[in-house]
Amino acid sequence: MVKKLGKMIVADLKKRSEKGLVLAKQVLQKEKIEYPILRDALEHYIAHWNDFTHPGLFSMACEAVGGDMDDVVSAQAAIAMMAAAFDVHDDIIDKSGVKHEIPTVYGKFGAEIALLLGNAFLIEGFKLFADSTTILQKKKGTEALETVKRLTFEVGNAHALEVGFKERKNIAPDDYMKVIEMKAAGIELDMHLGALFGGGEDVEVELLARLGRIVGILVMLREEFIDVFEIEELCQRILADDLPVPLLFAMQDQKTKGKVSAIISKPKITQNDVDELVDCTLEALPVVKLKEEMKALIKEGSKLAKCLSNRKLRSKLQILLSFMLEDL
C-alpha cells in the first residue's frame, strides 16, 4: 500500500512536470554551443533529466489557487532550469560522480564542464523567468523577481554553510537542521511562485509558501533517512565524510555512537551492517525526537492545506505530507 501510494504521488508530479520539462529542453537545445564536449554534456543531462519535484509542486500550487498551467508553462520551465543549475553545481561541491547508477555531468565530463553547463542553465532559466513575469501585473512581477532572488540566495547560503562544515570536526545536529531548513527555501520558491502565477490572493500565496517550506524540510529529511537504508548511497557518503543527518542525530547518544562508529569504520560494509545500522539509528532517542518534529511539521502542513478551497489539491497535498514518514 505504501509503495502504491508513493508511486501515485510520483506519477502525479511527473505528469504535472511534463510540459515544463519539454519546453526547458527545447530552449536549451536551440542554443548555439560552440564546444562539442559542452554540447555532449548538455545532451547527457537532458537524457536523464527527470526533475518532477520543482515543476510538479509549482503546478500543484498554481492549480490550488485556480490557475491554468497552460498559461504559465514558461515560468515552470524556467524553474526547472534554475533547479537544474543548482543540481549540477551541487555535484561539483559534493564531488558526486554517480547518482542512481548514472554518471553525473561532473562525474563524466569533469568540474569545468559541469560548472559551465550549470551556468548555462542558470542564465537561460533567469532569462526565461524574467520574460514570463510580463504576464503578471507590474507589482506581482516585481514580487516574483524579488522572491526568486531572496529564496535562491537563501539556498546558496545554505550550501556555503555546508561547505564550511567540512572544515569543522564537531558539528551539532542543530547546525545541520538549520541548513536543511534553509535549503527548503527552494521548494518554498516553487510553491510561492506557483500560487503567484496562478493568480492567488496574498493570503493564499503566503499559505502555500509556508506549505512549500514545510514540504521542503520533510522531503530533505526523508531523503536523509533513505540514504541510511541504501547501501550504495550510504557508502558514498561515508567515503565523502558526509554522514546522513539521522546518523549524526543517532551519534548524539553515546551508546549508539559506539555502534555506529564501529560499523561505518569497516573497510567494507555489508547489507547486514546496513540493517544493524538502521535498527540502532531508528531506536536512538535523538532520532525518535527528530521524527516527532517531522510529525509536527506534517500536522502543521495538513492544517494549512485544509484552508485551501480546492478540495482535490487539498487532498493531494495532505497525502503528500502524510507520505513523508512512511517506511521510515
Per the CB < 8 A criterion, the answer to whether 260 and 247 are in contact is yes
pLDDT of residue 281: 92
pLDDT of residue 1: 47
Can you tell me which residue has the cell 560548472? Answer: 115
pLDDT of residue 237: 82
pLDDT above 70: residue 328: yes
Residues 6+ apart with CB under 8 A from 305: 211, 314, 317, 318, 321
Distance CA 181, CA 226 (A): 18
Dump pLDDT digits (tens) for 208-218.
Answer: 999 999 999 99
pLDDT of residue 6: 75
Q: Using 50, 70 and 90 to split pLDDT, how confident is the model at 3?
A: low
Is 103 strand, coil or helix?
strand
Mean pLDDT of 87-106: 89
Per the CB < 8 A criterion, the answer to whether 198 and 64 are in contact is yes
Mean pLDDT of 50-75: 95
Dump pLDDT digits (tens) for 31-47.
Answer: 999 999 999 999 999 99
Dump pLDDT digits (tens) for 140-196.
Answer: 999 999 999 999 999 999 999 988 887 777 778 888 899 999 999 999 999 999 999
Distance of CA 3 to the CA centre of its chain: 20
Task: Please state, rounded to an integer, the average pLDDT across all residues of the chain.
Answer: 92
Q: How far is CA 11 from CA 56, 77, 126, 133, in A?
A: 10, 18, 28, 29
pLDDT above 80: residue 240: no
Name which of 72-81, 197-206, 225-234, 284-293 the model is least confident about: 225-234
59 strand-pairing partners:
none
Number of Cβ atoms within 10 Å of the Cβ of 96: 20
Domains of the chain, each with CATH number or no CATH: 2-323 (1.10.600.10)
213 strand-pairing partners:
none
pLDDT above 70: residue 260: yes
Dump pLDDT digits (tens) for 112-128.
Answer: 999 999 999 999 999 99
pLDDT of residue 187: 97
Number of Cβ atoms within 10 Å of the Cβ of 58: 32
pLDDT of residue 150: 97
CA 16, 73, 47 angle in degrees (round to 5)? 65
